[in-house]
């Protein structure tokens, strides 16, 4: 019996940008009714390959076949006509429009020249029923939860009758329950013969949902295996090109006196009477489920939001902290959860982003000391292994992991005494994670006080000295020795 051709074949795809060879002859196949996990470090070429498939980037060489037939992919329209839909990590929805309006935007249903809202609502209802979910299709998408917005994105792909759906970090902002629901929908789509390319740095998810794994490294395909023929450690080794014996590096440094105290911090229902302290050389984990109030607490400490009540004490001195500038001057740095909206000015260069919080010590008589600026930036590019073509590269052209490293570099150059890491490894590959973990350990060993906000319980257990758990704006528990804690203990406190 002759086996039918794959649903998708990408053959010897090559793409270069100024100073960067992004893809070096990458080949990939996807069968109908298959979930293919696409893995690789940040900058490995995953995003570029999917942009080629999505029609937003044109390949320099190579060809793409759909069910054995060569198809042009020179535009978004070409990709859509071939039955491809890409769901990016940053959703492509119009917030002010309803779910129905977003579903049919650009290809509205009409009747004798007029929009047929009733028909669109009926079609939307059938789509969500097919997916096995309930959603209010008449409210603006900005009022929907992250998980619901993701369902709208998936439904958009089905409206287009997509046979191939790419999901880029679909679980990054979801709770464990929402991830489970997402997996149910993916399995239902798979049963309908739809091929799915699933991109994620959460390797535990790969084992749960994927049929096969393809790994990219430095713009090349370094392996393709069925999921039952590859272990977690083998995935990591293929991604980084070396053996990571311990996912979380060991640290043994003395913990000193208290550096930062937060006393009775409050702001509406988001943060309610939160108190804690963090000591010299300590990594304090602030954890809980999405919406627990962790980020809101960090923003109060950094004065990005105004606290209604509470005090902040650094090294025994009470701080006014009426603005982020004062917080920075006091020695507090915040690596924001959303690096794209809050951590970087994406249209500015790597050099400009690096220098922004450091202008006071980089300047001499009102002018930037360019020699000092370049020397410091080059130092952190080397230390953090930031993949940039040159200092003036626009930040928006970097991979997510390298953007995170630029944010980290600018705060390290500031030499802050207290550093708040809000989801420092979100959307980052295991190799880059390990480098950030090593750096956090070095900072703690140098006497810095670190607050790490993380939703990943293994990361919390692997990196923290002490754990503070929040739920609905309140501290629900503290675990003094993280080494003796379990994920079950944290979860019990997180849902208290």
Question: So where are the chain's domains?
Answer: 8-240, 258-494
Q: What pLDDT sits at residue 427?
A: 67
Run of H or E residues at 69: strand 69-70
**What is the torsional sign of CA 408, 411, 412, 416?**
negative
Average pLDDT over residues 429-448: 85
Q: What pLDDT sits at residue 116?
A: 63
Bridge-based pairing state of the strands 20-30 and 35-40: unpaired
The answer, yes or no, to whether residue 478 has pLDDT greater than 90, is yes
Q: What pLDDT sits at residue 156?
A: 84
Contact of 213 with 235, CB cutoff 8 Å: yes
Question: Encoding tokens for residue 380?
Answer: 């952190």
Same fold, 8-240 and 258-494: yes
Q: What pLDDT sits at residue 101?
A: 87
Is CATH 3.30.499.10 correct for 258-494?
Answer: no
* Nearest C-alpha neighbor of 305 from the set 291, 324, 330: 324
Q: Count of residues for the chain?
A: 496
Average pLDDT over residues 330-342: 82
Bridge-based pairing state of the strands 69-70 and 418-422: unpaired
The more confidently predicted of residues 164 and 248 is: 164
* Nearest C-alpha neighbor of 122 from the set 95, 86, 159: 159
CA distance 343 to 334: 9
Question: Encoding tokens for residue 454?
Answer: 């993380």
The answer, yes or no, to whether residue 468 has pLDDT greater than 90, is yes
Q: What is the pTM of this model?
A: 0.64
Per-residue model confidence as pLDDT tens digits over 119-141: 788 888 877 877 777 788 888 98
When the candidates are 3.40.50.970, 2.40.50.140, 1.10.10.10, 3.40.50.300, the CATH number that belongs to 8-240 is 3.40.50.300
Q: Find where tokens 């044109």 sit.
A: 58
Q: What pLDDT sits at residue 314?
A: 92
Question: Encoding tokens for residue 247?
Answer: 């996912």
Q: What pLDDT sits at residue 416?
A: 87
- What's the mean pLDDT when you consider all of the chain? 86
CA distance 96 to 314: 42
Residues 6+ apart with CB under 8 A from 332: 260, 301, 302, 314, 321, 416, 417, 418, 419, 420
Q: What pLDDT sits at residue 359?
A: 84
Residues 6+ apart with CB under 8 A from 174: 146, 147, 150, 182, 290
The answer, yes or no, to whether residue 245 has pLDDT greater than 70, is no
The more confidently predicted of residues 257 and 434 is: 257
* Nearest C-alpha neighbor of 13 from the set 22, 5, 4: 22
Q: Find where tokens 């083998």 sit.
A: 234
Sheet strands (E) in 83-210: 84-87, 110-111, 114-115, 164-168, 195-199
CA distance 360 to 48: 38
**What is the torsional sign of CA 219, 223, 228, 234?**
negative
Question: Encoding tokens for residue 230?
Answer: 């590859």
Contact of 350 with 407, CB cutoff 8 Å: no
Per-residue model confidence as pLDDT tens digits over 367-422: 888 888 889 899 988 888 888 888 899 988 887 778 888 888 888 888 889 999 99
DSSP string, 453-478: E-S-HHHHHHH-SEEEEEETTEEEEE
Per-residue model confidence as pLDDT tens digits over 62-118: 999 999 999 999 898 999 899 999 888 777 788 898 888 888 886 655 564 555 677
Per-residue model confidence as pLDDT tens digits over 210-222: 999 999 988 999 9
For residue 242, name the pLDDT band (cuts at 50, 70, 90): low
Q: Find where tokens 């997996």 sit.
A: 183
The answer, yes or no, to whether residue 157 has pLDDT greater than 90, is no
Per-residue model confidence as pLDDT tens digits over 246-281: 678 877 788 999 999 999 999 999 999 999 999 999
């Amino acid at each position: 019996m002759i086996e039918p051709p794959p649903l998708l074949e990408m053959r010897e795809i090559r793409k270069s940008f100024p100073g960067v060879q992004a893809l070096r002859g990458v080949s990939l196949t996807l069968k109908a009714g298959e979930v293919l996990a696409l893995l690789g470090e940040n900058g490995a070429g995953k995003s570029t390959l999917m942009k080629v498939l999505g029609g937003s980037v044109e390949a320099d060489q190579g060809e793409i076949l759909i069910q054995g037939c060569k198809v042009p992919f020179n535009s978004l329209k070409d990709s859509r006509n071939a039955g491809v839909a890409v769901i990016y990590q940053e959703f492509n929805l119009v917030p002010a429009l309803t779910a129905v309006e977003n579903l049919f935007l650009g290809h509205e249903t009409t009747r004798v020249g007029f929009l047929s809202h009733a028909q669109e609502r009926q079609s939307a209802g059938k789509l969500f029923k097919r997916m096995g979910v309930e959603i209010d299709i008449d409210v603006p998408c900005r009022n929907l939860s992250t998980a619901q917005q993701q369902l709208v994105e998936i439904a958009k792909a089905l409206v287009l009758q997509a046979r191939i759906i790419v999901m880029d970090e679909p679980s990054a902002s979801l709770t464990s329950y929402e991830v489970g629901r997402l997996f149910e929908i993916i399995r239902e789509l798979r049963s309908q013969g739809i091929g799915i390319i699933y991109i994620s740095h959460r390797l535990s998810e790969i084992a749960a949902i994927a049929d096969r794994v393809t790994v990219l490294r430095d713009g090349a395909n370094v392996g393709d295996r069925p999921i039952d023929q590859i272990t977690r450690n083998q995935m990591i080794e293929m991604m980084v090109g070396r053996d990571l014996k311990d996912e979380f590096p060991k640290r043994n440094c003395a913990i000193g006196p208290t550096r930062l105290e937060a006393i009775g911090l409050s702001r509406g229902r988001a943060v309610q009477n939160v108190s804690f302290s963090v000591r010299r050389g300590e990594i304090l984990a602030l954890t809980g489920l999405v919406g627990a109030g962790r980020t809101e607490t960090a923003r109060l400490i950094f004065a990005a939001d105004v606290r209604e009540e509470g005090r902040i004490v650094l090294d025994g001195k009470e701080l006014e902290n009426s603005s982020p500038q004062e917080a920075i001057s006091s020695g507090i740095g915040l690596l924001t959860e959303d690096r794209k909206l809050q951590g970087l000015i994406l249209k500015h260069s790597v050099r400009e982003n690096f220098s922004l919080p450091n202008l006071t010590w980089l300047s001499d008589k009102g002018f930037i000391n360019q020699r000092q600026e370049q020397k410091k930036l080059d130092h952190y590019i080397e230390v953090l292994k930031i993949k940039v073509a040159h200092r003036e590269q626009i930040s928006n052209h970097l991979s997510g992991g390298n953007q995170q490293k630029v944010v980290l570099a600018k705060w390290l150059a500031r030499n802050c005494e207290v550093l708040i890491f809000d989801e420092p490894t979100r959307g980052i590959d295991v190799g880059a994670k390990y480098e950030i973990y090593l750096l956090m350990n070095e900072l703690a060993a140098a006497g810095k006080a670190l607050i790490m906000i993380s939703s990943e319980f293994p990361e919390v257990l692997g990196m923290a000295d002490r754990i503070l758990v929040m739920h609905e704006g309140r501290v629900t528990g503290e675990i003094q020795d993280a080494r003796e804690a379990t994920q079950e203990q944290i979860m019990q406190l997180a849902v208290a």
